[in-house]
Amino acid sequence: MTISSFIFKNALRNRRRATLTVLSVAASLFLLVTLLVALREITLPAESLGAALRLVVHNKTAIAHLLPVRQRAVIEHIPGVEAVTPFTWFGGTYKSDESATFAQFAIDPKVMRQVFVEAHMMDREIRAFERANDSCILGTLTADEFHLKIGDRFSLESREFRCTLAFRVVGIYAGTPDDRNMFFHQDYLDAARGHPGTVSMWFVKVKRAADMPGVIAKIESAFANTSAEVKAQSERAFQLSFVSRWGNIKALVIWICSAVVFTLMLVSASTISMAVRERFRELAVLKALGFRWRELLLCILAESCGLSLTGAVLGIGVACLLFQLGNISDLSHGIFVRFQMTPRIIGLALLVAGTLGVVAGIGPGVTVARTSVVAGLKGLD
């Protein structure tokens, strides 16, 4: 019998306990990697190539406060600006179902391709969108979820603007980090509201990344000390500002992960301690046969780490399959578009499992090393 086979047989001596330990580690590591991936998706929103050149301009006082349409002409004449579109949140409800909602925004269809370059559509769909005032385009995820196709008609009721608008689907786009939004004509919304001359915010496309700081400064200074002061920021910074409003979500997730790891450590330590206690006399016999305390300690650590890493591989494997094959949007009720399991997260989970295996095995291993052969043989008499 080799040392490796000896360790393997000892680990599976009580198969029920070994199985429950592996499953406990697998469930804990599955929860750990899920929390880490969720934290990554929240704090590092996906950024497309087009988003790197887009600015979001909103009211400096509060994002809910509207901006006057006269600002557009001023922004368009700022050097470095390529295109400007209004971006007004509609907040409509589909078929009076509060749970069946998706983001809808009123924009200028004539500059859509310039501003949202990553939204892939056919040319005829773009032309149809520009011509018909009641037309709209949908992200492919929303179209699939609500079984909508080109030519279909539907209505949305908005409590924000206290109106109901009817739309006709003329195009379906894809290729953005979040293919769930709906876009329609700002003019159509203005007509329903009685042409109030306001929008929620402006989306600005700059010509080059090097122009971003200068354009931001000029936009903010152009409307300084006016009745509608603005704040301009990159699209990524704008997305992260929403995350900051949730509070310190990162600290909360870290505390939950710490609790999971601590609980896992207690489970692993209890299992290994029980297994070593049952074999205390056998280990004393091995010491009497010439095994050194370092060799016995390594055997116990190998057994502990083996169980922990087996559970880790199982938990991480299930998480990878679920995130790859499952519909994350449905599972998260639309909160997340995707879950990307990165090598860093996998490596961190394996490191946690290995470290817990070592920590759980050190205590019993040291006890065995410090116990004499005579005491070990008499221990369970």
**pLDDT digits over 162-214, tens only?**
889 999 999 999 888 778 889 999 999 999 998 889 999 999 999 988 888 99
| Closest C-alpha to 305, from 266, 258, 347, 353 | 353
pLDDT at res. 381: 44
pLDDT at res. 324: 81
- Residue 271: partners with Cβ closer than 8 Å, 6 or more residues away: 17, 21, 307, 360
Per-residue pLDDT at 364 exceeds 60: yes
The mean of the pLDDT values for the chain is 82
pLDDT at res. 306: 81
**Local structure of residue 61 (DSSP, 8 states):** S
SS3 state of residue 69: coil
Tokens matching residue 46: 């996906």
Cα 10 to Cα 18, 283, 303: the distances in Å are 10, 11, 8
Q: How do beta strands 153-158 and 92-94 pair? A: antiparallel
Per-residue pLDDT at 379 exceeds 70: no
How confident is residue 148, by pLDDT bands cut at 50, 70 and 90?
Answer: very high
Per-residue pLDDT at 250 exceeds 50: yes
Which of 64-73, 293-302, 355-364: highest mean pLDDT?
64-73
Phi, psi angle pair for 206, to nearest 5°: -95, 160
Per-residue pLDDT at 76 exceeds 90: yes
- Looking at the chain, how many residues does it have? 381
Please report, for the chain, how many H helices and E strands are present, in that order: 15, 13
CB-CB contact of 71 with 139 (8 Å): no
pTM assigned to the model: 0.68
User: Within a 13 Å sphere around the CA of 199, how many CA atoms are in the beta-carbon half?
Assistant: 25
How confident is residue 376, by pLDDT bands cut at 50, 70 and 90?
Answer: low
Integer Cα distance of 215 and 232 in angstroms: 9
Per-residue pLDDT at 333 exceeds 60: no
Across the range 217-229, mean pLDDT stands at: 92
User: Is pLDDT larger for residue 342 or for residue 125?
Assistant: 125
Which of 1-5, 175-179, 201-205, 344-348: highest mean pLDDT?
201-205
Integer Cα distance of 63 and 200 in angstroms: 8
| Closest C-alpha to 86, from 172, 201, 248 | 201
How confident is residue 340, by pLDDT bands cut at 50, 70 and 90?
Answer: confident
pLDDT digits (tens, 9 = 90+) for 30-59: 998 888 888 877 766 555 556 778 999 999
CB-CB contact of 301 with 365 (8 Å): yes
